[in-house]
Amino acid sequence: MMPDLRGYGDSSKPESAHDHSTYSKRAMARDQIEVMKQLGFSRFTVIGHDRGARCAYRLALDFPAAVEKLVVMDIIPTGETFRRADQDFAMGYWHWFFLAQPFDFPERVIGENPDNFYFQGTRHLFHPEALAEYWRGIHNPGTIHAMCEDYRAAATIDFELDESDRGIIKIACPVLVLWGEKGSLPNWYEVLDVWKDWADDVRGLGIDCGHYLAEEAPEETYKELQKFLNV
């Protein structure tokens, strides 16, 4: 099962809260717990990439009894990202700071030309049908607003939650960390070392690709997932 996070795709887009908690990763994690409950599962494995991975590790922190194994792809924890931010990060991931600006500045800028904002230089990586579905979503003003709220939450409540858990709560389940060796993360961090502060049972490696592991290196990514999940 691969659900859209709240606000993305055809998932619901609840009204924003003043503290952005509506789009916090804690709220998104609760969504996934409820979805799995409705499907009859109280314990399961979670695999996430990018924003999905941020929801995934928060789910493992908040609901440890529910998560058997966790896979996070091409991220470090949100709190670590902001704590370690420097000029290289700000220039490379400038969209983190743009999307987190107060309503409705980024919404208006993106809404003027959403086709030109997303997937610059990476459109060739996606199957045409997948890309068309992404385009359909980002032309919805509600989706644009929800995405901005996601980043506003990251810069506020998500950061605060990570900071409050730092050194106190660790991810209880086995964790696999994968990242793109040609992406930005290995230039900025010792990725595995960062995650070892957040989980005792953690392993991982870089894949010979950029940020989009599943699209750029599907066979290699699948191999590592299968190996981890079958242990």
Q: List active site positions.
A: 50, 211
The C-alpha angle 223, 63, 205, rounded to 5 degrees, equals 25
Give the span between the Cα atoms of 136 and 129, in whole angstroms: 11
Whether residue 74 contacts residue 53, with contact meaning beta carbons closer than 8 Å, is answered with yes
Give the span between the Cα atoms of 100 and 85, in whole angstroms: 15
The C-alpha angle 106, 89, 192, rounded to 5 degrees, equals 125
